[in-house]
Structure 1
Amino acid sequence: MTQFILVAGAWLGSWAWRDVEPDLRAAGHGVHPLTLSGLAEQQGVAAGLQKHVQDIVDEVERLDLRDVVLVGHSYAGIPVGQAAEQIGDRLARVVFVDSNVPVDGESFLTGWPDGRAGVEAAIAANEGFWPPPAVADCADQGLTDEQIARFIGGSTPHPGPTLTDPAVLERPLGLLPATYVKCLLDWPEPSMEVAELLTSERWRLVTMDTGHWPMFSQPRELARILLDAAEPDPAGSGA
Structure 2
Amino acid sequence: MTTRTQLVLVPGFWLGGWAWDDVVPALRAAGVEPHPVTLPGLDPDDRGTDPAAVTRADHVRAVTDVVDALDGDVVLVGHSGGGAVVGEAVDRRPDRVRRAVYVDSGPLEDGAVLALDLPADAPGIPLPSWEELAAAGSSLDGIDADGLARFRARAVPHPGGVARGAVHVSDPRRFDVPVTAVCTSLPSEVLRTMVDGGPPLHTELGRYDVTYVDLPTGHWPMFSRPGDLAAVLVDAARA
TM-score range relative to shorter protein: 0.7 to 0.9
Q: 1:47 to 1:23 in 2, by over 3 A?
A: same
Amino acid at match of 2:160: G
Higher deviation after alignment, 192-201 or 205-214: 192-201
1:217 alignment counterpart: 224
Asked whether the 8 Å contact 1:78–1:100 carries over to 2, the reply is yes
The equivalent of 1:25 in structure 2 is 28
Question: Is contact 2:185-2:218 (8 Å) kept?
Answer: yes
Match of 1:2 in 2: 5
Aligned equivalent of 2:176: 175
Structure 2 CA distance for partners of 1:11 and 1:29, relative to 1, 3 Å: same
1:51 paired residue among 48, 58, 61: 58
8 Å CA contact 1:131, 1:157 repeated in 2: yes
1:69 is the counterpart of 2:75: yes
Indicate how the Cα distance of structure 1 residues 7 and 198 shifts in structure 2: closer, same or farther if over 3 A, else same.
closer
TM-score normalized by the length of structure 1: 0.82
Give the Cα–Cα distance (whole angstroms) in 1 for the partners of residues 144 and 185 of structure 2.
Answer: 17
* Distance in 1 of aligned mates of 2:238 and 2:89: 21
- Give structure 2 stretches of 5+ with no counterpart: 198-203
Counterparts of 2:192 and 2:92, CA distance in 1:
25
Aligned counterparts of 2:90 and 2:36: Cα–Cα separation in 1: 16
The gaps in structure 1 that reach 5 residues or longer are 110-115, 233-239
Q: Write the distance in 1 (CA, Å) between the matches of 2:130 and 2:46.
A: 24
Q: Which amino acid aligns with 2:140?
A: Q
Report the AA paired with residue 161 of structure 1.
G
Whether the 8 Å CA contact 1:129–1:157 is kept in 2: the answer is yes
Q: 1:215 to 1:107 in 2, by over 3 A?
A: same
- Per-residue CA deviations over 1:108-140 (Å, capped at 9, x if unaligned) read 13xxxxxx54xx25x75xx41101122334555
Aligned partner letter, 1:175 = D
Whether contact under 8 Å (1:81, 1:102) holds in the other structure is: yes
| Aligned residues of 2:104 and 2:184 also touching (Cα < 8 A) | yes
Q: Report the residue type matching 1:131 in the other structure.
A: P
> In terms of mean alpha carbon deviation, does 10-19 or 127-136 score higher?
127-136
Cα deviation 1:127-186 (Å, max 9, x = unaligned): 411011223345552221111111111100110111111111123554321111111369
Letter in 1 for 2:39: L
Question: Could you say what the CA RMSD is over the residues aligned between the two structures, in angstroms?
Answer: 2.5
The farther-off stretch of 189-198 and 35-44 is 189-198
> Match for 2:34: what amino acid?
V
Question: Aligned residues, how many?
Answer: 220
Query: Aligned ranges for residues 150-161 of structure 1 at < 5 Å?
Result: 150-161=150-161
Alignment of 1:1-239 (within 5 A): 1-40=4-43, 41-42=45-46, 44-45=49-50, 46-61=53-68, 63-109=69-115, 116-117=116-117, 120=118, 124=121, 127-137=122-132, 140-142=139-141, 143-172=143-172, 174-184=175-185, 189-190=190-191, 194=195, 197=204, 199-200=206-207, 202-232=209-239
Whether the 8 Å CA contact 1:186–1:212 is kept in 2: the answer is no
Q: Which residue of 1 aligns with 2:200?
A: none
Asked if the contact 1:184–1:207 (Cα under 8 Å) also holds between the matched residues in 2, the reply is no
Mapped to 1, the partners of 2:129 and 2:163 lie a distance apart of: 19
* Deviations 1:14-53 (CA, angstroms, capped at 9, x unpaired): 0000000011000121111000001124552531111100
State the Cα distance separating 1:101 from its structure 2 match. 2.3
